[in-house]
């Protein structure tokens, strides 16, 4: 049993997850760092080692969070060890390129399951635990592509659209039980012009300059937002979808870009 807050990061191998882990560690949060099976595991192990060397309490998990039993087993491990779980940070974020007309059904399902079903299952299982405690918080790190189509990775957008509705539904049901659920709709970071290159949409053409400040976001921006959303300072925030993109989605007039 610990008096410190306990947080589970669903995929701590990705930039957003790594930055969030480091940020929460600064606040003395006990961390459960999950890495989906595969190459992610080593990245998470290294991150855990670094944080442990700095004196932080870290538990490593390698769960695919793919079905109820798997998630329940991880939840059980965490509660057995620490007696509680206070925060779930959903950082699963996999972008598969493919066209609506031709991407095989099974790959669309994979993308949906990886990006959104994991969040659904964790919200159910961890939500039950948090409800028992009478308090808790969930933050989903989502994307502006829950609103804006990509023109190159539609399965990702589908999952992001579903994740937004999960946030709103869970905010109602879990809100009555003391649990807040919010979503960060993250905008472009360095390299997204490659990830989201599209023959159809010029959204990412000159993307840096479409942000009014001409400065792209970083994983640290995500981490700061997660830390705030998870804190008591945000106790009235529930079911919110916060667009964290520096104003990128508002862009319209190319000739007015700051460059």
Partner 1 sequence: MKAEVKDVSLRGKVALVTGAAAGIGRGVAIELARQGARVAINDVDRADAAHITLQMVREASADGGIIQADVAQPEQVQAMVEEVVRRLGRIDILVNNAAIQPNLGLMDYDDAWFDHVMSVNLLGYLNCIQAVVPVMKGQRQGRIVCMSSVHAKRPTDFDTVYAMSKGGIKMLVRESAIELAQYGITVNMIEPGAVQVGRKIGNPRPIVPPDRVTEESRRRGARKFPLGRVGVPSDIGHIVCFLASDEAEFITGAAIRADGGSMLL
Residue ranges binding partner 1 (CB under 8 A)? 67-68, 99-102, 105, 108-109, 112, 116-117, 120-121, 123-124, 127-128, 145-146, 148-151, 154, 157-166, 168-174, 200-201, 239
- Least separation in angstroms between CB 113 and partner 1: 9
Give the tokens for residue 221: 């921006």
**CA-CA distance, 9 to 17, in Å (whole number)?**
7
Non-local CB neighbours of 257 within 8 Å, separated by 6+ positions = 206, 209, 210, 214, 251
How many other C-beta atoms can be found within 10 angstroms of the C-beta atom of residue 56?
A: 18
Rank residues 84 and 148 by Cβ distance to partner 1 and give the closer one. 148
**Which residue, 161 or 212, has its beta carbon nearer to partner 1?**
161
Residue 202 · residue 185 · CB < 8 Å: no
* Nearest to partner 1 of 25, 153 (CB atom): 153
CB of 43 to partner 1, least distance (A): 28
Is the CB of 90 or the CB of 145 nearer to partner 1?
145
CB nearer partner 1, residue 174 or residue 229: 174
Task: Report yes or no: 163 and 205 within 8 Å, Cβ to Cβ.
Answer: no
256 by DSSP, 3-state: which? helix
| R_g of the chain, CA atoms, integer Å | 18
d(CA 204, CA 73): 41
Which residue, 108 or 222, has its beta carbon nearer to partner 1? 108
Distance (Å, whole) CA 118 – CA 100: 23
Closest CB 5 distance from partner 1, rounded Å: 23
Task: For residue 2, give the 3-state DSSP assignment.
Answer: coil
Nearest distance in Å: CB 92, partner 1:
15
CB of residue 145 to partner 1, shortest distance in Å: 7
Widest Cα–Cα separation across the chain: 58
- The least CB distance from residue 65 to partner 1, in Å, is 12
């Amino acid at each position: 049993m610990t008096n410190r807050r306990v947080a589970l990061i669903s995929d701590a191998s990705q930039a957003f997850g790594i930055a969030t882990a480091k940020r929460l560690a600064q606040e003395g949060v006990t961390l459960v760092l999950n890495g989906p099976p595969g190459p992610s595991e080593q990245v998470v192990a290294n991150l855990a080692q670094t944080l442990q060397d700095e004196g932080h309490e870290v538990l490593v998990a390698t769960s695919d969070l793919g079905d109820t039993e798997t998630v329940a087993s991880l939840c059980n491990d965490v509660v057995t060890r620490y007696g509680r779980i206070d925060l779930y940070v959903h950082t699963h974020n996999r972008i598969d390129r493919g066209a609506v007309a031709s991407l095989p059904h099974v790959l669309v399902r994979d993308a949906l399951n990886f990006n959104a079903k994991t969040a659904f299952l964790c919200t159910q299982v961890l939500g039950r635990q948090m409800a028992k405690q009478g308090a808790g918080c969930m933050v989903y790190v989502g994307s502006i592509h829950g609103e804006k189509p990509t023109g190159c990775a539609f399965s990702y957008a589908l999952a992001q659209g579903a994740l937004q509705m999960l946030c709103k539904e869970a905010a109602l049901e879990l809100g009555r039980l003391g649990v807040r659920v919010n979503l960060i709709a993250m905008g472009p970071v360095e390299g997204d012009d490659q990830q989201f290159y599209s023959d159809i949409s010029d959204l990412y053409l000159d993307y840096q300059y479409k942000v009014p400040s001409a400065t792209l976001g970083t994983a640290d921006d995500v981490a700061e937002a997660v830390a705030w959303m998870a804190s008591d300072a945000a106790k009235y925030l529930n079911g919110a979808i916060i667009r964290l993109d520096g104003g990128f989605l508002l862009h319209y007039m190319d000739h007015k870009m700051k460059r």
